[in-house]
Amino acid sequence: MSLKNLNVINKIPKTLKKNLDNQRIQKIYNNFEKNLNISENFVVAVSGGPDSLALAFLAKIYSIKKKLAAKFIIVDHKLRSGSNKEAKKVQKILKSHSINSKILTWLGKKPIKNIQSIARKKRYQLLFSRSDKFKINNILLGHHENDLFENFFIRMLRGSGLKGLISLDKKTVINGKNLLRPLINEKKEDLRFIAKKVFNFYINDPSNKDEKYLRIQVRKLIEEFQRKGFDQKKLNVTIKNLKHSNNVVDYYVNENIKKNTFFSKNKRRMILKNEYFNQPFEVIFRSLSESIKLIGERSYPVRGKKLDNIISKIKDNCLYKVTIGGCIIEKVNETLIISKEH
């Protein structure tokens, strides 16, 4: 080991460094470092579950070795009594291992329906806001291989297309923020092992056993598949193949938008050439979705039946004016124009 590397290793707190002697942990860290591979500062989202605590440990080591600033954020959703005490306990545990963290709280009235989905969006809003203050664009999330499989089946049950099936990727860009998932190829049991070995602690969220949530139903279904010999490696291959196919579609979508659209002088309107719609349906669908997202300045592209209907009307030459995703799509002198809704 070089003197330079030795000096870096010596800067790692003893409570963390001693765990790197474990071969299982060292192997996971090596994969983590390879998957993350960034040279910019980052924010780390911590919930207190085994996945996020393992992430906190690995990210802290990475930040020291790469001489980067890492900001650790705990989000208290206030969805159950005692959540504040849990958050403070997680903060205390991290502090005892030389990891400083900040607790952010989701205030206000909580929803009755779609709790997990809305909570995720609120969590991202808090993380984005805090990362803006730090002037940091990279946010690390603790999603792992099990989450990848669950997401695949959930999307399939909801009738998602190709893009939706592989939406949980190693990197997602939202509002200029890079959501990074360096643990996406790791198994949950390995992350639980790290949390137990390093911190001897993690929180078991009771909602992870509540079968009123679709994610938990799917988790039970996957567990049943596993008991019957389900091969996760083959599903991994399937997801990778779908990603390759999705990249091909993305290429043609980007080409369609680049070659068959142009902006008005003030950049507030996008004019669509006739050739824009002389493409396979999936290319048209995604092109229009991305165009609306761009003009409407939205975080997520619009999807669903309404967009299907709009494309059908355009094909049948009977669309004149419609609003969708904060935009107006209208026909002016035989030309389709997308403008932002005021």
- Report the DSSP pairing between strands 327-332 and 321-324: antiparallel
Q: In angstroms, how far apart are the furthest CA atoms of the chain? A: 72
**Residue 6, pLDDT score:** 52
pLDDT at 260: 97
| pLDDT for 8 | 67
CB 72 within 8 A of CB 63: no
All residue ranges of the chain with pLDDT < 70 are 1-9
Distinct helix (H) and strand (E) counts, the chain = 13, 11
Question: What pLDDT score does 9 carry?
Answer: 67
Nearest in space to 319 (alpha carbons), one of 305, 303, 301, 337: 337
If asked whether residues 182 and 256 sit together in one domain, one would say no
> Residue 84: which CATH number?
3.40.50.620
Domain boundary among 179, 214, 230: 230
pLDDT (0 to 100) of residue 167: 86
> Which of 174, 203, 230 is a domain's end point?
230
Domain around 96: 3-230
Q: How confident is the model over 273-310, as pLDDT tens digits?
A: 999 999 999 999 999 999 999 998 887 778 778 899 99
H/E stretch holding 169: none
Write the pLDDT tens digit of every residue in 88-135: 999 999 999 999 999 999 988 888 788 878 888 899 999 999 999 999
pLDDT at 5: 59
CA distance 137 to 327: 27
Residue 182: predicted pLDDT: 98
Please write down the long-range contacts of 264-267, taking CB distance under 8 Å and 24 or more positions apart: none
Are both 27 and 104 inside the same structural domain? yes
Give the pLDDT score at 295. Answer: 92
The model's pTM is 0.87
Return the number of other C-beta atoms located less than 10 Å from residue 238's C-beta: 13
* 187 and 255 housed in the same domain: no
Range list of β-strands (E), the chain? 42-46, 70-76, 101-105, 138-140, 171-174, 177-180, 261-263, 269-272, 321-324, 327-332, 335-340
